[in-house]
Amino acid sequence: MNRRGFAVGSLAASGLALAGCQTTAREPGQGLAAGLQPGYRPALDQTEAGLWQLSDKLEQETRTSPYRVRDPALEVYVKDLACRLSDDYCKDIRVYVLRTPHFNATMLPNGCMHIWSGLLLRAENEAQFAAIVGHEVGHYLRRHGVQRFESFRNSAEFAVFLGLGLGVAGLGLLGDVAALMVIAGNQAYSRDHEREADEIGLDLLAKLGLAPGEASKVWQQVIAEEEAAETKRQRDFLFASHPAPQERMDSLARLAEAKTPPPDGWQTGVDRYQAILRPHRRWMLNDEVRLRRPGPSLSLLDRMLASAPEDGELHYYKGEVLRLREKEGDLDLAMEQYGHALSKVGAPAEVFRARGLVQMKKGDRAGADESFRNYLDRRPDAEDRLIIRSYLSTGA
């Protein structure tokens, strides 16, 4: 657990997130290229059975996790999309949405998929979101997680890891089980695995009539955020475990061009996706601001504003990123965004509080008092109302 309250501890950062799932035992089959049939679960005497059991135990931890997003409508939506993409394997794939404000999704070997809230916020439409979900389904269908684990187990690094002991610092209550899962997470998929998962994901996307070209756009957007980062340390977790985003973007674009569109053309599902996302957008944006990554956050917000320039809430959050960055001129830029927010649709009451804080910092006591009163008039039950009233009464 990190200090800002998000599920991005050592395990999540490894690419496995804080989840695992239970499945029903089945006889192993042949099926796809990797020998996987619907309902597959390894026999107890198979090497990978232990890896599945560890995933199952982690599922017990995640069922009651405070980071699990439990909104029924959202859960039904992501599960339905995963089912439509995976078809016959629908019952073998379970999906958790985790409150983790970074762009990523992961798949455990036993069919458990984890969707991070930062991915939901960054996808612009259903086609983009489905491209990532389909990619993770591809990893599962080809059993890449098992191959990755077996490769690491046979390496010298495995012995070194065990020599350090299983009580890895920072794993908290997950303990030895989580430590073993990190073994798999620390080994990124190979380029061949990633390419294969990309190809499968695009095939599944096209099967649903969703625009395959949106997969490349996702990477274009993420690359833009990476380039906007002030330091390399701010690079998203995704780039720690996924290779060559520019190469990948170009490859996805070429693969998409080869797909034949359906008679009624490709669909993006933008309205359906935005309707599902809308009830969650504010807390997702709050989490984004709390990351204190102004470059990537401004890149994200500018992209969102390009599609919705009349959205007062987006202008407010852009102002918040600027206010907290505090570079020279940022307070003036923040005030400009707050002004835009108040002239648009959907500006939250918090825009008055933010204006008041900037005005206090700039020495405008009269303006700050007016802004704070406007905030309290609109949010008389605000959790910070006593603090704001103290600003009014003391001039602190």
Cβ atoms 170, 50 nearer than 8 A: no
Can you name the residues that pair with 311 across neighbouring β-strands?
345
Q: Give the three-state DSSP class for 98.
A: strand
Between CA 384 and CA 375 the distance in angstroms is 11
Q: Give the three-state DSSP class for 106.
A: strand
pLDDT of residue 239: 52
Cα distance from N-terminal residue to C-terminal residue, the chain: 34
Which residues fall within 8 angstroms of residue 42, CB to CB, at 6 or more apart? Answer: 28, 48, 49, 52
- Quote the tokens at residue 340: 């835009």
Which residues fall within 8 angstroms of residue 227, CB to CB, at 6 or more apart? Answer: 299
Superfamily of 280-394 according to CATH? Tetratricopeptide repeat domain (1.25.40.10)
Between CA 281 and CA 68 the distance in angstroms is 16
Q: Give the three-state DSSP class for 185.
A: helix
pLDDT of residue 125: 98
- Quote the tokens at residue 388: 């704001």
Which residues fall within 8 angstroms of residue 369, CB to CB, at 6 or more apart? Answer: 356, 392
Cβ atoms 17, 102 nearer than 8 A: no
For the chain, the domains span 10-257, 280-394
The torsion angles phi and psi of 36, rounded to 5 degrees, stand at: -105, 125
Residue linked to tokens 């979101």: 129
3-state helix, strand, coil in the chain (%, to 5): 60, 5, 35
- Quote the tokens at residue 286: 């709050």
Nearest residue to 271 via CA among 81, 134, 124, 132? 124
State the chain's maximal CA–CA distance in angstroms: 75
pLDDT of residue 195: 86
396 residues of the chain, pLDDT tens digit each: 343 445 543 333 333 333 333 333 333 333 344 557 898 888 887 777 888 888 877 777 877 889 999 999 999 999 999 999 999 999 999 999 999 999 999 888 888 889 999 999 999 999 999 999 999 999 889 887 777 776 666 655 555 554 544 444 343 333 444 444 444 444 456 778 888 889 999 999 999 999 999 999 998 998 999 899 987 665 544 455 454 678 888 999 999 999 999 999 999 999 999 999 999 999 999 999 999 999 999 999 999 999 999 999 999 999 999 999 989 999 999 999 999 999 999 999 999 999 999 999 999 999 999 999 999 999 999 999 999 999 987 655
Residue linked to tokens 């709050």: 286
Instruction: Express each pLDDT in 14-57 by its tens digit.
Output: 333 333 333 333 333 333 445 578 988 888 877 778 888 888 77
- Taking each helix axis as running N to C, give the angle between helix 365-378 and helix 350-361, from 0 to 180 degrees, rounded to the nearest 10: 160
According to DSSP, the β-strands at 112-116 and 94-98 are parallel
Q: Give the three-state DSSP class for 243.
A: coil
What is the phi-psi region of residue 367: left when phi exceeds 0, alpha when psi lies from -120 to 50, beta otherwise? Answer: alpha
